[in-house]
Structure 1
Amino acid sequence: MKLDLDGKTALVTGSTQGIGAAIAAGLARAGARVVVNGRTEARVAEALQELAGQVPGGEFVAGAGDVTTDEGARAVVAAAGRLDVLVNNLGIFGAAEPLEITDDEWRRYFEVNVLAAVRLTRLTMPAMIERGWGRILNVASDSAVVIPAEMIHYGMSKTALLGVSRGFAKAAAGTGVTVNSVLAGPTHTGGVEDFVHQLVEQDLPWDEAQREFMKTHRPQSLLQRLIEPEEIANLVVYLSSPLASATTGGAVRVDGGYVDSILP
């Protein structure tokens, strides 16, 4: 199976670290020119150096800008040039008492996790449709289906992203452009390490903290460990490739068996 993205350009939002950086590296290994996105030029420049070390010969370009604003999203898309693959990976999460989440926090989670993806899809899909080929991937979460009691606002935003993906897939029906969401399970990133230590004893060594977190807060995981970012990236790269031409409108799981359902 050859995942060949030679000649394609991909934009990965929020790709200076974590899952986004892993996706950027995976797409570059498959031959894509990858636009690395973060809010500041300094952080993007740092990420470009890190990615160049991971993928010698990979083609990475800077795409600094705040895609949660219309102005920032337009600037990033303009800097990227022709886009064949859009990966809406940018997202925020955090634990909060359900009845203490303010209106502003509800709005912030929707703005960052949902509306940014909608905006970028609106900016990039027409050109993809005109060319007759394109891939749009929205990185969602198992929390879209199994809403965590400690972060309802996050789960809500990821559920909305599933609906957004399905709807835009219908808008692109028959054009050669596919739109899918990827349901990522509990994943090992720096941000998740901080999140885990919010919920378990903070003095525990990481390996013990991870096991305690999975046992106490994610017991339904069949993998029984956190997923590595590269494992999420593998699925995203496949769905971005020509080989995934018959997969669209789907919510494709890479959740470690977390969602207790045959279908999402």
Structure 2
Amino acid sequence: MSGSTQGIGYAVAEALLAEGASVVVNGRSEHGVATAVRRLEDAVPGAAVSGIAADFADAAQVRRLLASLGEVDVLVNNVGVFDVRPFEEIPDDEWQRYFDVNVMSGVRLSRHALPGMLARGWGRVVFVSSESGVSVPADMTHYGTTKAALLGLANGLAKLTRGTDVTVNTVLGGPTYSDGVARAVEHVARAQGVPVDEAKGAIAAANRTSLVQRFLEPAEIAPLVAYLASPVSSATNGAALRADGGTLTTTL
């Protein structure tokens, strides 16, 4: 699974290992991957976990990753980058980087794994998108646009699975206190001269549509991904399931 050395990806890896799956984690650096593997081995004794370092912004590194992968029964497309930035200040190269990492990662991994799943007649592809792909934030248009693209990609791929036990689904996560978000909150707290918990609470409270009125934890997203990765989710295909804390205001 891509982008799995921290945050939601790490929590999903731990959940899948706890269910007995063999997991290959991914991160940008060898050190980060090795650290995550050791942590997962400590968290889940006897876990069958390994890792491959690759930066999805670098096509050559992605090619090396794909060449080292064997058969994949479950693919979790999780890797993603984000930041808060005014639309008019986002240059073309930044838009391109967002599409390379957030969208083309899923394209390239799915193109590698899906044919084998279809040939064997069983498999699971899960995209970790965001509520921002449905309600695109004005100050994160590049991020929200790429997450919307994942919804379209998953929808199209699901149509290729007709008549098989392969499924392709998407999880719409809500605002989650991942490592990247934690660093951003710490930056805001320092800039405002307030405690981190105060800044964290104020930012969460500013999301007026959220029903939980707090940041989600990665471990609250992971069980839904684990369900979609499992055999018991066989009747769920081509779907976008929400773990958004009630942030989206639609019923579907």
TM-score (norm 1): 0.91
Q: Which amino acid aligns with 1:64?
A: A
Report the alpha carbon displacement of residue 198 of structure 1 after superposing the two structures with TM.
5.4
SS at the partner of 2:27? Answer: coil
Say if 2:163 is the partner of 1:174: yes
Aligned counterparts, 1:19-168, within 5 A: 19-168=8-157
Report the alpha carbon displacement of residue 68 of structure 1 after superposing the two structures with TM.
4.0
Distance (Å, rounded) in 1 between the aligned partners of 2:195 and 2:69:
42
Report the alpha carbon displacement of residue 67 of structure 1 after superposing the two structures with TM.
3.6
Q: Which amino acid aligns with 1:47?
A: A
Distance (Å, rounded) in 2 between the aligned partners of 1:79 and 1:105:
29
Q: Which amino acid aligns with 2:31?
A: A
SS at the partner of 1:63? Answer: strand
Q: For 1:204-245, what per-residue CA distance to the aligned partner results, in whole angstroms no more than 9, with x for missing partners?
A: 2222112100122x1211011111101111100000000000
Report the alpha carbon displacement of residue 77 of structure 1 after superposing the two structures with TM.
3.5
Contact 1:39 1:64 in 2 (8 A): yes
Structure 1: runs of 5 or more not aligned:
1-11
Distance (Å, rounded) in 1 between the aligned partners of 2:195 and 2:113:
44
Report the alpha carbon displacement of residue 134 of structure 1 after superposing the two structures with TM.
0.5
Report the alpha carbon displacement of residue 173 of structure 1 after superposing the two structures with TM.
1.8
Distance (Å, rounded) in 1 between the aligned partners of 2:97 and 2:129:
16
Q: For 1:172-213, what per-residue CA distance to the aligned partner results, in whole angstroms no more than 9, with x for missing partners?
A: 222211001110000011210223355665432222112100
Say if 2:213 is the partner of 1:224: yes
Say if 2:249 is the partner of 1:260: yes
Report the alpha carbon displacement of residue 42 of structure 1 after superposing the two structures with TM.
2.0
Distance (Å, rounded) in 2 between the aligned partners of 1:117 and 1:68:
12
Equivalence for 1:203: 193
Report the alpha carbon displacement of residue 147 of structure 1 after superposing the two structures with TM.
1.1
Distance (Å, rounded) in 1 between the aligned partners of 2:10 and 2:55:
17
Alignment root-mean-square deviation, CA: 1.5
Q: Which amino acid aligns with 1:135?
A: R
Distance (Å, rounded) in 2 between the aligned partners of 1:228 and 1:130:
37
Report the alpha carbon displacement of residue 70 of structure 1 after superposing the two structures with TM.
4.2
Distance (Å, rounded) in 2 between the aligned partners of 1:90 and 1:203:
32
TM-score (norm 2): 0.95
Q: Which amino acid aligns with 1:204?
A: V
Contact 1:199 1:213 in 2 (8 A): no
Q: For 1:67-93, what per-residue CA distance to the aligned partner results, in whole angstroms no more than 9, with x for missing partners?
A: 444443343234332210000100000
Distance (Å, rounded) in 2 between the aligned partners of 1:197 and 1:147:
24
Distance (Å, rounded) in 2 between the aligned partners of 1:62 and 1:197:
29
Equivalence for 1:16: 5
Q: For 1:89-127, what per-residue CA distance to the aligned partner results, in whole angstroms no more than 9, with x for missing partners?
A: 000000101111111111111111001101110011000
SS at the partner of 2:167? Answer: strand
Distance (Å, rounded) in 2 between the aligned partners of 1:202 and 1:234:
35
Match of 1:251 among 226, 240, 248: 240
Structure 2: runs of 5 or more not aligned:
none
Say if 2:189 is the partner of 1:213: no
Q: Which amino acid aligns with 1:65?
A: A
Distance (Å, rounded) in 2 between the aligned partners of 1:191 and 1:91:
11
Distance (Å, rounded) in 2 between the aligned partners of 1:136 and 1:202:
42
Aligned counterparts, 1:237-248, within 5 A: 237-248=226-237
